[in-house]
Structure 1
Amino acid sequence: MVDFGFFRGFVTSINDFLTGQNAENEGCFKLMTVEDGTGAIVNFVVAPETYVVDQEIIGVGDRVTGYYDRNAPVPLIFPPQYRALVMVKEIPGVNVKADFFKSQLVSSDGMLQVNLTPYTPILLANGQPFTGNPANRNLIIIYGPSTRSIPAQTVPYRIIVWCSE
């Protein structure tokens, strides 16, 4: 189970990130610097396997949310540098939450409950249909309006099942 942490802000720079492993990887990894407007800065390493919601192209000035694994080792440098698992380019009216969803499809922080319909697309990260039960899994929920209750309830536009090795 991934313990998703996140950081939200504006992209201030995007550069190639050199892994030093081999020349074939040159240009495949990006280092995105994100600032939240209060002075906090995070660098995200965006790898070819990073899930970018809707495959949106992210540019300098875009408001983004980067999700990372809180339990993954990180170098002790400033600004903090995390390997991005999920990147979201924020679009008005569309919300995204990556988290572990329990048996009743309530997020681990208790802030969002997902209500499924027979028409809710449930997909794998590669776009293929997921045929199992989405409960008790790491999910990326893409949704619009929600109730103002706690937990907020929503019928998502789609669900991405985050299968980790």
Structure 2
Amino acid sequence: MINFYAFQGTVTAISDFGINPGSEGCHQLFTMENGFGSIVNFVVSPSTYFVDHEIIRVGDQVTGYYDGDLPAILIYPPQYPALVMVKDNPAQNVKVAHFDSQLVSSDQMLKLNLSPATLVLSTNGQLFTKYPANRDLIVLYGPSTRSIPAQTVPYRIIVLCPMNLN
């Protein structure tokens, strides 16, 4: 279970970020500013998931998600490995979180009510055939109730499967 933290802001710079010899061009540094003076650098790697495979450019409004439990190097601006990047779209809501057996998010703010029309996919774009409970999910949805937790019928769920190959 990942403890997802989010930072929302405008991308002010994108630059190549060298990790290892031979990986040139595979990693980038996205610098984002939130309008309140806070700046964050996200290290974007080949494993970073971009919702809808959007291409991000300088000037785009973006939300970046990272693991809030991982240690971070003590520099300014803070620098985090990006797990999920979402180009903001006023026509859709996105929640990235761990969802329990009742499909309630880890922050207790959103409950999912699945319908036959809810598309459940893995990160490779293939249908996910199991029940998505007790997993880290990217949820794309529209309207929700005003209750706590808010309830919604998601349009699409992307299951963030562990990358273990053993």
TM, length-normalised to structure 1? 0.96
Offset of 1:144 from its aligned partner?
1.2
Helix, strand or coil at the partner of 2:58: coil
Offset of 1:84 from its aligned partner?
0.3
Aligned counterpart for 1:151 among listed residues 127, 149, 152:
149
Deviations 1:66-114 (A, max 9, x none): 0001122221111110000000000111111110001111101011111
Deviations 1:5-47 (A, max 9, x none): 111111111111111x112x11111100111100011000010
Aligned counterpart for 1:68 among listed residues 66, 69, 81:
66
Contact 2:117 2:155 in 1 (8 A): no
Unaligned stretches of 5+ in structure 2?
none
What is aligned with 2:12? Answer: 12
| Pairs within 5 Å for 1:1-40 | 1-19=1-19, 21-23=20-22, 25-40=23-38
Identity of aligned residues (%): 63
Unaligned stretches of 5+ in structure 1?
none
Offset of 1:152 from its aligned partner?
1.1
What is aligned with 2:91? Answer: 93
Offset of 1:118 from its aligned partner?
1.5
Aligned counterpart for 1:57 among listed residues 55, 79, 101:
55
Offset of 1:3 from its aligned partner?
0.9
In the aligned structure 2, how far is the partner of 1:157 from the partner of 1:56?
A: 18
Residues 1:80 and 2:78 aligned together: yes
Contact 1:93 1:145 in 2 (8 A): no
In the aligned structure 2, how far is the partner of 1:34 from the partner of 1:92?
A: 19
TM, length-normalised to structure 2? 0.95
Deviations 1:96-145 (A, max 9, x none): 11100011111010111111001211110000111111111111101111
Helix, strand or coil at the partner of 2:95: strand
Which amino acid counterpart does residue 8 of structure 2 have in structure 1? R
